[in-house]
């Protein structure tokens, strides 16, 4: 059994992914059967796994003023957002399009924070009209523009500064967004001056402070380092009489793709709260922006084996899912577990490179995988719930996959398979 499956089976309330009499099942539903019914490529999500992942954060924060804001760029399908909205989650958005999705799914603007390094004027206006909870501002230029847009609307924009804590890359080389060299946030050394400015701008209402130091983080220490840097700043800012209501520690908690063992969400949150208490900040509202850790292990991508091409240097297993459906391997050289949906005892495992039909050598889903498969079999790419469908494209004029959400006994088709004619919408031929 792969480490992901072992971990899933071992964790209470974790993704209900298990092999039963040879059949890989999610919440008791055989993936091969779902593939036959709905076609492939097919994303399948466990609603229970998403709820359990959110509940772990909420449990750890219980008894404190808090808001978990699901960073929806990880998976922005409406039924996923609906699942989180119904469970009391807020949202972290990075565009006006994402705000529209939150509202369409029944989420609340007043539980939504607006992040992103390049917000446009029209996006600010839409977010103000909807009444978002807070703008996470990433530059002095953005502070000035937000002030202008808010005054034009006759309102004050709730504002937090995204601070780049410059957590030491030497000790924590896996951090990708919290360094001085990254485009994100206001530099720690410039943040106090930016708060002084924000406090004088009549269109802004300073509400809090935030950071987001990276993604797929598997250690607690960088979070504690970043929190310390944030609290230092909170103390300086409040020392000047500018009150900060909330602290937003961002997202970034990693999941298991291969053999990573990230801390559990409640363990991470427990350590963060303990540090805040120890420094006398226990009463402050805490915001978190988890994305991947809420959905990543709750989903798989199911694909059919089209051809087997044994070769001299490599053996290729050609499947009907490709880099346009799941881009993480091509984009980040990322490892994702691959399991046959139905275990075979009648063929020997062979070492395959699992590749898609797209005309790019970078179009692969897994390399050097020992799999016992035949043409027509189904494979499941594991931990595909985050940054899978949300990053899918139509490259090679490939319609995007269908999505299914299982929920106990129920199976819901939450997105129909895209049709080729959908891909022509809005295109025009030139008059002859």
Ligand X SMILES: *Cc1c(COP(=O)(O)O)cnc(C)c1O
For residue 417, give both structure tokens: 């398979």
Select 116 or 203, whichever has its Cβ closest to ligand X.
116
Q: Does 98 bind ligand X (CB under 6 A)?
A: no
Enumerate residues 253-292 that contact ligand X by CB under 6 A. 253, 289-292
Which listed range, 142-150, 250-258, 331-339, 409-417, lies at the site for ligand X (CB under 6 A)?
A: 250-258
71 interacts with ligand X by CB under 6 A: yes
Within 13 Å of residue 289, how many CA atoms lie on the same side as its CB?
30
Helices (H), 221-264: 221-239
Q: Which of residues 217-246 bind ligand X (CB under 6 A)?
A: none
172 binds ligand X (CB under 6 A): no
Instruction: Give the integer Cα–Cα distance in Å for 138 and 211.
Output: 10
Q: How many residues bind ligand X (CB under 6 A)?
A: 16
**Residue 73 touching ligand X (CB under 6 A):** yes
**Least CB distance to ligand X at residue 212 (A):** 4
Taking the least distance from each CB to ligand X, the nearer of 267 and 418 is 267
Question: Which one, 41 or 296, has the nearer CB to ligand X?
Answer: 296
Q: How far is the CB of 395 from ligand X (least distance, A)?
A: 23
CA distance 60 to 194: 32
Decide: is 178 part of the binding site for ligand X (CB under 6 A). no
Residue 48 in contact with ligand X, rule: CB under 6 A: no
DSSP tag of 299: E
C-beta of 46 vs 115, nearer to ligand X: 115
Which residues carry out catalysis? 359
The two three-digit tokens of residue 405, written as one number: 């959400």
Cα separations (Å) of 348 from 249, 265, 405? Answer: 49, 39, 33
Alpha-carbon gap, residue 246 to 136, rounded angstroms: 12
| Cα 339–Cα 312–Cα 328 angle in degrees, nearest 5 | 40
Residue 251 as a binder of ligand X (CB under 6 A): the answer is yes
- CA separation for the pair 303, 301 (Å, rounded): 7
Q: Which is nearer to ligand X, 212 or 284 (CB)?
A: 212
Is 229 or 378 the residue whose CB approaches ligand X more closely? 229
Rule CB under 6 A: is residue 74 a binding residue for ligand X?
yes
How much helix, strand and coil, in percent to the nearest 5, is found in the chain? 35, 25, 40
Q: What separation in angstroms does the CA of 272 have from each of 43, 89, 244, 269, 425?
A: 34, 20, 18, 5, 48
Under rule CB under 6 A, residue 25 binds ligand X: no
Chosen residue from 178, 222, 250, 337 binding ligand X by CB under 6 A: 250
Binding site for ligand X (CB under 6 A): 71, 73-74, 92, 115, 212, 215, 250-253, 289-293
């Amino acid at each position: 059994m792969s480490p992901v499956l072992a971990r899933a089976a071992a964790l209470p309330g974790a993704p209900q992914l298990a092999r039963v009499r040879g059949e890989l099942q999610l919440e008791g539903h055989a993936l091969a059967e779902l593939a036959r019914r709905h076609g492939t490529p097919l994303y399948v999500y466990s609603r229970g796994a998403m709820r359990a992942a959110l509940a772990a954060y909420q449990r750890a924060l219980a008894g404190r003023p808090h808001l978990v804001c699901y960073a929806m760029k990880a998976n922005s399908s409406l039924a996923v957002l609906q699942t989180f909205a119904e469970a009391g989650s807020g949202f972290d958005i990075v565009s006006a399009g994402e705000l529209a999705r939150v509202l369409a799914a029944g989420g609340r603007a007043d539980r939504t924070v607006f992040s992103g390094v390049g917000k446009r004027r029209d996006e600010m206006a839409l977010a103000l009209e909807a009444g978002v909870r807070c703008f996470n501002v990433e530059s002095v230029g953005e502070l000035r523009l937000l002030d202008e847009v808010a005054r034009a609307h006759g309102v004050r924009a709730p504002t937090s500064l995204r601070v780049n804590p410059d957590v030491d890359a030497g000790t924590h080389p896996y951090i990708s967004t919290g360094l001085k060299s990254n485009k994100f946030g206001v530099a720690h050394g410039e943040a106090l001056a930016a708060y002084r400015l924000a406090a004088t701008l009549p269109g802004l209402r300073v509400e809090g402070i935030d950071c987001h130091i990276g993604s797929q983080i598997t250690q607690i220490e960088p979070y504690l380092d970043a929190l310390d840097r944030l609290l230092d700043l909170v103390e300086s800012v409040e020392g000047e009489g500018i009150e900060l209501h909330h602290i937003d520690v961002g997202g970034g908690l990693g999941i298991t793709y291969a053999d990573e063992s990230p801390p559990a969400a409640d363990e991470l949150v427990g350590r963060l709260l303990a540090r805040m208490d120890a420094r006398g900040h226990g009463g402050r509202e805490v915001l978190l922006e988890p994305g991947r850790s809420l959905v990543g292990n709750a989903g798989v991508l199911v694909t059919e084996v089209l051809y087997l091409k044994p070769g001299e240097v490599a053996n290729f297993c050609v499947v009907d899912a490709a880099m346009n459906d799941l881009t993480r391997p091509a984009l980040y050289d990322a490892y994702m577990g691959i399991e046959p949906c139905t275990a075979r005892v009648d063929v020997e495992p062979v070492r395959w490179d699992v590749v898609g039909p797209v005309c790019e050598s970078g179009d692969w889903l897994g390399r050097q995988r020992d799999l016992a498969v035949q043409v027509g079999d189904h494979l499941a790419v594991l931990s595909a719930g985050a940054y899978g469908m949300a990053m899918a494209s139509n490259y090679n004029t490939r319609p995007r996959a269908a999505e299914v959400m299982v929920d106990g006994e129920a199976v819901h088709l939450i997105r129909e398979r895209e049709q080729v004619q959908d891909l022509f919408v809005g295109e025009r031929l030139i008059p002859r």
